[in-house]
Chains A and B, each alone.
Chain A
Amino acid sequence: MLVWLARRLAQVVPTLILLSVMIFGLQQLMPGDPALILAGEERGDPQVLAQIRAELWLDRPLHVQYLHWVGNVVTGDFGFSWRIREPVARLILQKLPVTFQLASMAFLIAVLIGVPMGILSATHRDRPADWLANGIALFGISMPNFWLGIMMILLFSVQLGWLPPSGYVPLTEDFWQSVSTTIMPAFVLGSGIAGVLMRHTRAAMLTALSQDYVRTARAKGLTERVVVWKHALRNALIPVVTLGTIEFGRLLAGAVLTEQIFTIPGFGKLIVDAVFNRDYPVVQGVVLATALIFVGLSLVADLLYMAINPRLRQA
């Protein structure tokens, strides 16, 4: 187990190196001379420009710049935002929990709706419950998030007045307030994933339910509930878990738009603002952080995989 973990972590190293090279390269391709942007009013003064270049190591050879940057990143120094004049790392750490809360809630909603619906749909194959579940899944997948978001705001905020239409209260401040400000965006964000999860769960369950071991479970005299929710589901979950982690990564990306609709000050807002203001260190930091999260997620996926699939648990 520990050996496996060590080996798995070692595999991550080349990925990270490749990622860092790509992100660094991207920075080089970005238009505009950072020194010029940073100098602002004083861009006419060659001395100021030279000073800025020296500060940012822009006057060194490329490979030295790269190593310097990597060295900084490894020690948690993601650079300074040009616009807000704050460390990028701090900005990310401020915004990330917001988006993470939103994505986690969306994912929870997606799992709680998608997985049981997929199971139900498989056990009621070709019957009304199956058709209904498929209809709902299609709705969830094909509904544009902004439209669903606006409709929900109109219904729950404008018409019924149950939920605030925008804004955000951190979890640490007030739990219920926080949930009420994030439940609608989380639902909007989770609806598509719920549909995808439902379809995959349905397919995986149909496969599992046709296996010989399910017949054995029935022959043992187990109740249909145990046959479905224990024997079939345990095996069906293996492919669904992989998909789930990929979808969770996509959720983080999807949060960008949803955060705009509900004006939630998360990661999405951070990156949108940064891109529009050409705040390259922030863009770079966000991309790097996102990549790291994906790498972390794939590790979590593998661990979950091992937990439910005994065939991978040896060695």
Chain B
Amino acid sequence: MTVPALTIENLSVEFATDRGSLRAVDGVSLSVAPGRTLAVVGESGSGKSVSALAVMGLLPGSARVGGHIALDGEDLLALPPEALRARRGGAMAMIFQEPMTSLNPAFTAGEQVAEALRVHRGLAPAAAFAEAVAMLERVRIPDAARRARQYPHQLSGGMRQRVMIAIALACRPRLLLADEPTTALDVTVQAQILALLGQLKRETGTAVVLITHDLGVVADHAEDVAVMYAGRVVERASAATLFARPEHPYTVGLLGAAPRLTGGEGRLASIEGTVPDMRNPPPGCRFAPRCPFAITRCVAEPPPLAEVAPGHMTACWRAPLAQVLGAA
């Protein structure tokens, strides 16, 4: 097995807020190997973005981060700020959800790509711009030389996200964090962007963390999956295993596999109830208030993430769930 590009161990993030502290991420462990895509799935508010921002060192000052984050074996949380800044955009890069607002309206697309090259590869302005145009070609922007001289407001949403990808991949990062990169785009553009990301990943061997709430995206574009719920990872498996044999009741609900859990048909099944208030989460299993399989123990004690089969982990007192479902 290859050495992971990114290893997260027992990550916790706590925000100091006006109404007390809020633990947005609580003991998350993940890893991604070079050239592979890990999908991180979960409802809005489950701590996906916060986890990614913690890796990048981009959380606001009100956040307290605990645990370990290693990029190619180097402990990121122990790095001085200046060294961490040098990793950002170089060894690791991030793409955000909102292509409409993520680019600076005051600078051309080419300048914004070139900037990363100037900082990390020390290229002169002209050379950086030429390289930026080449990069825009690589992300399949037609007429790249002309587009490079245009401002974000002159580009479509899909094109802007391609520019974001060009910025992120300009310095050939070892790790790419893509936070819902296609959520704001229409369906056909979504597919194109995801296909492009996959292709570039294969060409460069970059490790990709693909954050999404869309399980349909996972099936087609990720090898591994981590399902998050209320700041914790509740299930980890290969994509194939997860779809074939989901273990955690929450995942089952997401997949719409268990009729009693689903709010409708289709891959985006909604689960009854809402995500808990993270200022005051349930003491035991955080899914217990919404879980049809909950037992007394679930309310009292949080279930650890444990292996149910080789490479397949779930955090549920009633695992393996097949028995429960079989008995029901």
Chain A interface residues toward B at CB < 8 A: 211-213, 215-223, 231, 234-235, 308-311, 314
Contact = CB atoms under 8 A, between A and B. Distances in A.
B36 to A, nearest CB: 22
Interface stretch (B11-19, B103-111, B127-135, B315-323): B103-111
B116 to A, nearest CB: 5
B102 A212 contact: yes
Interface stretch (B1-9, B91-99, B186-194): B91-99
Interface string B126-165: 0000000000000000000000000101100000000010
B172 interface: no
Q: Which of A212, A221, A309, A314 has the most CB of B within 10 A?
A: A221
Contacts of B106: 231, 234-235, 308-310
23 contacts: A211-B101, A212-B98, A212-B101, A212-B102, A213-B105, A215-B96, A216-B96, A216-B164, A216-B167, A217-B104, A218-B58, A219-B58, A219-B96, A220-B88, A220-B115, A220-B119, A221-B85, A221-B87, A221-B88, A235-B104, A235-B106, A310-B108, A314-B154
Interface of B: 56, 58, 85-90, 93-94, 96, 98, 101-108, 115-116, 119-120, 151, 153-154, 164, 167-168
B153 A311 contact: yes
Nearest to A231: B104
Which are the 4 A-B pairs with shortest beta-carbon distances? A221-B89, A221-B88, A220-B89, A213-B104
Contacts of A234: 104, 106-107
A221 B120 contact: yes
**Prevailing SS type, chain A contact patch:** helix
A274 B91 CA distance: 71
B40 to A, nearest CB: 17
Given A215-B102, A216-B104, A219-B56, 4 more contacts: A216-B164, A219-B94, A221-B88, A231-B104
Nearest to A233: B106
Q: Which of A218, A223, A235 has the most CB of B within 10 A?
A: A218
Contacts of B102: 212-213, 215-216
Contact of A212 (B96, B116, B154): B96
Nearest to B98: A212
A185 B93 CA distance: 52
